[in-house]
Amino acid sequence: MNLMQAFKIAVKSIAAKKARSALTMLGVIIGLAAVIILVSYAQGQNQQMREFYESLGSNVVNINAYSPGKNVAKLLGDYCMDELDDYILGVTPVVNFYERTVLKYGAKTMDSYESSWEESPQLVMGNQDYSLCNNFTIAKGRDISFLDVDRYNQVCVLGHDVAETLFNFVDPVGKEITINGIPFTVVGVFAEKDPNNMSGMDRYLLVPYTMKRVLSSDNMISDFVAKAKDSASTAKAVSLLQGYLDNLLGEGMGYVQSPNEWQEQSEEQDKMQQRFLGGIAAISLAVGGIGIMNIMLVTVTERTREIGIRKAIGAERRSIIAQFLIEACMICGIGGLFGIAAGYVGTLIVGKLSFKMILIPNAGVTVGAFFISVALGVVFGLYPAIKASGLQPVDALRAD
């Protein structure tokens, strides 16, 4: 018997028991869909975290340092620009204003205390390098300048969502708004940076950090961000800055870190999560495979006389094994195709609900999943096939 005949017999056997075949395939369909959806979910999380870190900016160095008797902002800025100019492109103080922030333009108002987190404005303060260090780009107007910082100019740059809420279709540049009752002139608008509102960066409102003494009674500035030229420069800058702060403030009084390290750790954790979720889903595939073995054993029992007749007229063991293996692989292969389709649909739904993005399963995972489904047919169909091929013709012909 050639392979084509074996395929035809397998198709007839599956078609003759449609309901049973469908239920047998269901275990493979569910298992394969679960593998694709869970692995894709982990990849979606990884993608979202990667986008978040990219929005923060690559090659960034975060610095925490404060000394009551020293102007750390000036000393740190001078050191970065004079001594580390081979590694550092810019450095800025970073002040997140967590007190109540009320923005007004005409009849429009944004109040940080009366809005949900998704709509609350966030006042931040920095210098002329704030945009560079935090990966912002200017869409309209200009950025704050050194003179704005040095002369305590009451100017601001609006985040995309703040500009849209306060001004709608009106060009904000040159208009005057009030921040907690104090007038500020809008000099620029940032380009949209965080469309999924994951970090709230499009709700930022940037003013010169020298305005902190006007807007707040607390003049302490302890957080800074520096922008390195590349990843190699980032590692070198972290080491040199930590040494400088230890000498300037005393050991343990200043801390320097890079999000690059967190990103690498996060990606490693995401890979572990993918393997873990894939392992959990693989259990359901194994259960489906056991179901296939069970059904194939039943099939062998039902077709014992057929097997006896074929062996009596000279069929070899390998042809019997091939026939039942092909049938098992066909059941798993058809179930695999339906499982992949279900996995794609499930992934699209999960991506939309969980990440608000179109999530497509990885092509490698999809192809691998199909071959795994066929391999299930071989692994779990082998024992029934061997059992069928081992039947003695006389005993098989006597079977009812």
Position 368: which residue type? G
User: Over 70: is that where the pLDDT of 264 sits?
Assistant: no
| 111: β partners | 102
d(CA 156, CA 134): 16
Question: Tokens representing 295?
Answer: 């059904």
Would you put residue 59 in left (φ > 0), alpha (ψ -120 to 50) or beta? left
User: Over 80: is that where the pLDDT of 136 sits?
Assistant: yes
Percent share of the chain, pLDDT over 90 = 34
- Residue 99 carries which DSSP code? S
Question: Tokens representing 179?
Answer: 């921040």
For residue 387, CA distances in Å to 3, 9, 304, 331 come to 20, 18, 11, 19
Radius of gyration of the chain (CA): 33
| 185: β partners | 155, 176
- Residue 256 carries which DSSP code? E
Domain ranges in the chain are 3-52+264-398, 60-257
d(CA 43, CA 60): 24
d(CA 89, CA 230): 10
Per-residue pLDDT tens over the stretch 70-101: 888 889 989 998 899 999 999 999 999 989 99
Which pLDDT belongs to residue 19? 87
Alpha helices in 182-316 (DSSP H): 212-215, 231-249, 259-302, 304-312
Residue with tokens 């798993």: 332
Q: Which of 81-90, 189-198, 376-385 has the lowest mean pLDDT?
A: 189-198
Cβ neighbors of 171 (< 8 A, separation 6 or more) are 140
pLDDT-derived band at 52, boundaries 50, 70, 90: low
Strands 122-126 and 204-208: what pairing? parallel
Question: Tokens representing 33?
Answer: 């869909």
